[in-house]
Structure 1
Amino acid sequence: MEFRFNQTLKMLAVAGVIGSLAACGGGGGGGSPVITPPAEVITAPYKYVFSFVNALDGKPITDALTIQFTGASITSGEVLDSNNKVIKVGDSFTTTNGLFAAAANFNGTEDVFTILGGNLAKGWNTSGVQILGVASKQGEQVVTIKLNKIGNAAAIQADSTLGIGMVASSTTAAAGGALPAVTLTTTDKTVTNAENKAESVGTATITIPAGTVARDANNVPASGTLSLTVTKYANSDVDALAAFPGGFTPNAQLSNGTTTSGNFVTGGFAQFNITDAAGKAIKKFDTPIQLTIDLPKTSKNPTTGATIKAGDTYPVWSFDEATGKWVFEADGQVREKTPVDANNFEVVFNSTHLSYWNLDYFESANCTGTVNIARNPAGDTRPLNVDIVGVEGSRFYRALYGVTDSALTLAYSPRINVNVTVKDSKGNVVGSATNQNLCTGVTVNTQLPTVTYATLQTNVTESCRDGVTGKRAVPTYVYFYDNSMYRGGYYATGTSTIGSIESGTNGTLWVWNRFINQWQTSSVAVTAPTTTRNINFPNLDCATGSVTGSVTGAQ
């Protein structure tokens, strides 16, 4: 999955940067009171900021979320945190504002990692995204990860603009973890699909036979009151597709056990969750349970082009949170619903574990796709968001955020026709193209409103506690969030210049403070021609002051 951000990474000589920082008091020589060494400059070429947002309203999540990483690039030590430290297998981080920064030095051998975030104790279902080196570009990239909250089930179901159906209930485990008979089904609703037509979301159902013993991931039997949620995601709604864990260009484990990269063409997906009173997930069952996910009757086999019919099978995949991979599970049976539904079949399969479940054809045949954004006025470089959705019957999704280029190259593109929609930072549609093939190239003509631009310049320094002594520039991450889009990146000199902001825009400035491992935020109104903010962290350990503490692993 490729996410392109609006700031181009400026190439700097590392030795020169470190030297300039040391000259500002970093080494403590020449009578400087500073003891703390300068911050390490992050030179990894792939830089990401992961934004965890509420799927209901798109706002950053301010509850504490636990962040974990998995994948080959984690095992080989290729991924770094915001302090330039290697992220290791088993490391756990916390974010209290929905933002997490990381960088990668891909080595050319199975370059892939997955980031997962959630907090079941707070009701946030776990989800994440898989990052492939071959589908990334060097520079700054913003990746949005949408999470559902159990407490929002009724509001999610009631939202007619959101292609997600959700239902919550409860049950009680008997001694030894035995469950009563349980059947829980989401309610269907109609939303507007990618072609701007009304379409059914469909339903998803979990059926647990009486006496089934449920256990957590460590084989501890379930006990007490259990919360159950079923979430059904439409395969035709952009907001639902954007919540898809792992991405549509995954590194997937096939039926023969091998792992390869390719594309998912999806028929829809669902999440089934059971948690105890402490928020611990119930994952295993001693006997199979039945899971059912609706499949639109317009769905096609992408290899043959034939429309799916009752009696066919449809591939079913589960998301392995331990490895961050989608794993082939079975060929589910396609059958008519009872009573017959004009819009949907249902795909039925059995399982002894819970997960995200996905109805997908996995296509290893792909191409390097291209999208040309014809900007009008020509030469305009304002950041734009691009949504790419497979046409009806062959659904696929890819998002590119904060695009400032006109020519986009997309590795691992599926060989299907797509619809492309381009929006500005306020969510206004400024251009679109329908039913075009990425492999032969898509051109989108845009009409951009005339605006006055402003630049936000931020100078970040660190000093002794008096705010003056030993002051020096510090390399760090800086982002401006205008309640819709993050802009910025990593700046090795401590000075960030973020341009193409519409004058008069109000937003939040995010600056990473390495000493307390947290983001410092402040409100800012950006006005033409340039708005300047000076941020100083008075946290240096100096001979004239005491040592400051830190919060390990928090963002």
Structure 2
Amino acid sequence: MGNKQFKLTKLALALGVSVSLAGCFSDNDNNVDIKPPPEPTQKVVAPPTDQVVEKQAGSFSIVVTDSLGNALADDVTASITFPGNPATVLNTAGEALGEDDTTSAAGSFAFTVAEIPEAGLTFDFVVTANGFLSNSGTVELTADDADVAELIRLTPRTLTQEAGKAPIIATTSALTDLKDADGNDVTVTYTAGTGLSLGGAGSIELNKKLDSTINAGKAAGGVKVKLKEGTKFVAKNADGEDVELDELPTLTVAYFGNEATGFAANNGTADDNANAAADSALDAFPGGLALTVAAPESEDAANVSGSFTTGGFVAIELVDSQNRKVKNFGKNADNQDNTLEVAMQVDAKTVNPCPITLPEGGDLAAEAAKAFDKGVCTVAAPVARPLAAEDIFPVWSYDEDAGKWTFESYGVVKANGTDDTFDVVVEVNHLSYWNLDFFTYIIGADKCPNRRFSFDIVDSAGNPSQQYADVLVEASGYRLLIGAYNRTNLAKGTFRNPPSFPVKLKMMKDGKNILDSAMDKDGNLLGGAATDGQASAVNFPNLCSLDGGKLTLTTAPAAPIAKNLTPQFTCSNNDAGDVPATPVSTPTIAQLFRNDRFVKTFYPSGTFSVNLEQAVAGANVTYKVRYKNPRNNTWFTKDIGLNATAETLDIPVTCTINEVPVTGTGGN
């Protein structure tokens, strides 16, 4: 009997028959306990709500390109530092910066701030990458411009000139490959303590000059770096102490033309009104040409803000096989600093905005003091003129760690027997960017009462502009580009410490000027350009006259397409669960690119809208978004359609999977 009962019990279980007994299933004959079937469970993927970050008061992002505006290669990792390490700079999760927040292989950085005081926030930054010369910039956050961006350009250590590109040339050479002044081979050896030995040659040199064919009508200039017998190569160790290298370093020299020839040739022409270079050597100037330097003694301040007018600049680096950079050249037998000779060829079309000439037999320091103090022009109303032989030219150097320019000395412009350039020769006792520059600033509050002022930008129909257009200000040896990405509001522009010399202004879109006219705050036309629908470069004897004024564009394109985008965390392991998790939106930083050019930055709390300009007939317009995982420095790029269809910006993360009881499967 018992055996039959056991078999019946097994059969009942197999058929799914439910038998209810007190405590357990029991075989009375064999005293066997039979446990009930396990409760069914399922794998549920938990939504990544723990990844969502809190939106902060403001943000800024940095896009890094090479000196010609191209994206960095995928294998290039860039690093960013903030001189002084300001604690107010936070990562996109709203936390203190960690090491992972300051490196990026995507060509982008993004940061936030917890609050913006009434006076605003200003941050200097320095960007470096292997294979490139460093560069720096400044970002400013205000209550009105709480989410801003900057584009920074890095120059490769080796760069060949190309037709139609910015006049920059860079090369890296072994010292053993250099020759003497007559072009003869030299036996080059080096011994720590003794220094550079040149087999009696006295010096070796590297000479780089812009190709006159490629740069015809655009730029002229070059540089020659001369290393002397006995030069020592001294770097800094981790403690900041001088350490002489025990091997020959390699020499990198990059020269950047100031494009004075092109400015002089195009100024006021029909082509000048319609066009402007999309990329310029001046765009690669470290820190930009509008900057702050040590104030002259006449000012009751530590610093003054103004503008450089450059005669051209050069970067010089000596780096050994351990990537140690030479900082100075040691001492000679008389305990004096060893120096390198740097001879720069300056474009003869360069304009001198603070002219002072060294008379024959005159004392350089005494004559320079008549127009300059610490390299800063102190003439109240200088009258600019073309550069001439015997002009005094201030020389500046760049501290790449601090991202600052410092006045060094004065050079004298010399004729060199050519029609297109002059020579300026200086002795340098350390390495960096070296720059021939006139620094001028607005003297007297009556010249520009509001040294930070804004203006409106309207389309040809008089409506606030919604176009991704850039404000471009130019003069000989000067260029300031205020990109659409610099402006929170596309219908507004802001100048901070405007140049004190005459400039011309354009609004650039896809390489074309679309500025019709400019008016002051009272509605008076400025710069002689009528509102006639024709593109014009507006000339400003004093840019401050635009304070509170208005720029009118030549175009009134069709209303942009509004497209909603949602940055969201998604579970990359959803397929491993029975019940997938739904995405969770999050604040993050996104960058919009139009035809591969950076045009706008966004810092939304969730879903946000971007305006996509409709393509004109025959034009091909593409858009993509680069966006960030706010929890780390991982960036994603997505092509988006030129339509109003909403899209998501997915940030994949690994989610927790929980095994939970199945619910909702019972019968009546």
Equivalent in the alignment of 1:207:
226
Matched residue of 1:242: which SS? helix
Select 2:166's aligned residue among 162, 166, 169.
Answer: 162
Matched residue of 1:125: which SS? coil
Equivalent in the alignment of 1:535:
649
Q: What letter corresponds to residue 569 of structure 2 in structure 1?
A: E
CA distance in 2, matches of 1:371, 1:41: 33
Residues 111 and 443 of structure 1, relative CA distance in 2, 3 Å threshold: closer
Contact 2:514 2:554 in 1 (8 A): yes
The question of 1:440 aligning with 2:524 is answered no
Select 1:518's aligned residue among 634, 638, 642.
Answer: 634
Matched residue of 1:361: which SS? strand
Equivalent in the alignment of 2:287:
246
Instruction: Deviation per CA, 1:219-243: give whole Å up to 9, x if none.
Output: 3333545332222222237511111
The structure having more radius of gyration, on CA atoms, is 2
Matched residue of 2:281: which SS? helix
Equivalent in the alignment of 1:182:
204
CA distance in 1, matches of 2:635, 2:326: 33
CA displacement at 1:166 relative to structure 2: 2.9
The question of 1:399 aligning with 2:482 is answered yes
The question of 1:41 aligning with 2:54 is answered yes
The question of 1:375 aligning with 2:416 is answered no
State the number of aligned residues: 494
Equivalent in the alignment of 1:221:
244
CA distance in 2, matches of 1:214, 1:109: 45
CA distance in 2, matches of 1:314, 1:168: 28
Equivalent in the alignment of 1:507:
623
Residues 518 and 542 of structure 1, relative CA distance in 2, 3 Å threshold: same
Contact 1:296 1:345 in 2 (8 A): yes
Matched residue of 2:244: which SS? coil
CA distance in 1, matches of 2:506, 2:468: 14
Equivalent in the alignment of 1:27:
none
5+ residue gaps, structure 1, are 1-30, 546-555
Q: What letter corresponds to residue 113 of structure 1 in structure 2?
A: F
TM-score calculated relative to the size of structure 1 = 0.79
CA displacement at 1:192 relative to structure 2: 10
Contact 2:504 2:539 in 1 (8 A): yes
Q: What value does the CA root-mean-square deviation take over the aligned residues?
A: 3.4
Select 1:348's aligned residue among 425, 429, 437.
Answer: 425
Matched ranges for 1:8-157 at <5 A: 33=46, 37=50, 39-45=52-58, 47-71=59-83, 74-75=85-86, 77-87=87-97, 93-104=102-113, 105=115, 107=117, 111-120=121-130, 123-132=131-140, 138-151=145-158, 153-154=159-160, 157=161
CA displacement at 1:277 relative to structure 2: 3.1
Q: As a proportion of its length, which structure holds more strand? A: 1
Instruction: Deviation per CA, 1:5-60: give whole Å up to 9, x if none.
Output: xxxxxxxxxxxxxxxxxxxxxxxxxx995686453323233x32211112235334
Residues 277 and 158 of structure 1, relative CA distance in 2, 3 Å threshold: farther
Contact 2:139 2:149 in 1 (8 A): no
Equivalent in the alignment of 1:456:
563
Indicate the larger mover: 53-62 or 283-292: 53-62
CA displacement at 1:464 relative to structure 2: 4.8
Select 1:301's aligned residue among 322, 337, 353.
Answer: 353
Residues 435 and 171 of structure 1, relative CA distance in 2, 3 Å threshold: same
Instruction: Deviation per CA, 1:397-454: give whole Å up to 9, x if none.
Output: 3433346544423121022211222222x33332342432311128654322745732
CA distance in 2, matches of 1:517, 1:443: 40
Q: What letter corresponds to residue 458 of structure 1 in structure 2?
A: L
CA distance in 1, matches of 2:230, 2:100: 37
Contact 2:468 2:599 in 1 (8 A): no
